[in-house]
Amino acid sequence: MLQKWIYASERGYGAKWQRERRKFLDSNPFCVKCYEEGHLTKATVVDHIKPHRGDQKLFWDRGNWQALCKRCHDRKTLTEDINPVYRYKKTFAEEAKVKG
């Protein structure tokens, strides 16, 4: 089955995204995953923590962005984002809300 290739700009990654991406990386210059492992690696990708799958509100939610290096982003995309149903670990705040 051939997949129709959609240009990045058609998926929302146009000039506005490029400007916001640059500002975010200027403010967050290191990969958060590498930093967690004790390494300082330059971030080159703004990743959507929870895949937006076209949801514009989630796409532009800066709280859903993280700075990653290409290696970590590619690993995350292949292991987490490829699934049609997004699974995520609940944060401490979400767990506390459930326990009420």
Query: How do residues 17-67 score in pLDDT, each as one tens digit?
Result: 999 999 999 999 999 999 999 999 999 999 999 988 889 999 999 999 999
Q: Which helix (H) or strand (E) holds 92?
A: helix 92-99
Q: pTM of the predicted model, to two decimals?
A: 0.70
Measure the CA–CA gap between 2 and 31, rounded to whole angstroms.
34
Q: Which two tokens stand for residue 17?
A: 């995204």
Q: Compute, in degrees rounded to 10, the torsion defined by CA atoms 45, 49, 50, 51.
A: 10
Measure the CA–CA gap between 82 and 12, rounded to whole angstroms.
19
